[in-house]
Amino acid sequence: MNPTPGHRIDVTQGTEHVRVIVNGQVVADSHRPLLLTETGYPTRYYFPPEDVRTDLLTPSDTHTVCPFKGTASYWSLAGGPEDIVWAYPEPRPEVAEIKDHLCFYEVELG
């Protein structure tokens, strides 16, 4: 995808083991994340919802708009960090693969 000169987004299927641990609790654990690489940003891991403890998440009122990916919705961890995870329920067609996958600010490899 190259919507703007000099800006690029690629989504690929990952196979590495990635986890999200918050306050000693595993919140996400996957061997099949989507890897989103975007110009100027670190690689982001988008987890299938089945690999996330969604029962620990509470919807937030926060929404942000990315001109390349669409409008993101956020969730907070009960008793923990606010807006720790986001997803694109209706992503732009160029990144349709990330639809409903959940992305966290911090992940642990291996």
Q: Is residue 4 part of a domain?
A: no
pLDDT, tens digit (0-9, with 9 covering 90-100), for 23-81: 888 999 999 999 999 999 999 999 999 999 999 999 999 999 999 999 999 999 987 78
Q: Is residue 50 part of a domain?
A: yes
Identity of the residue numbered 31: H
Q: Is residue 1 part of a domain?
A: no
Specify the number of domains making up the chain.
1
Range of 89's domain? 9-109
Residues 9-46, buried b or exposed e (16+ Cβ, 10 A)? Answer: bebeebeeebbbebeeeebbebeebbbbebeeeeebbb
Please tell me the predicted confidence (pLDDT) of residue 23: 83
Q: Is residue 104 part of a domain?
A: yes
109 pLDDT exceeds 70? no
Report d(CA 92, CA 30) in Å as an integer: 24
Q: Is residue 38 part of a domain?
A: yes
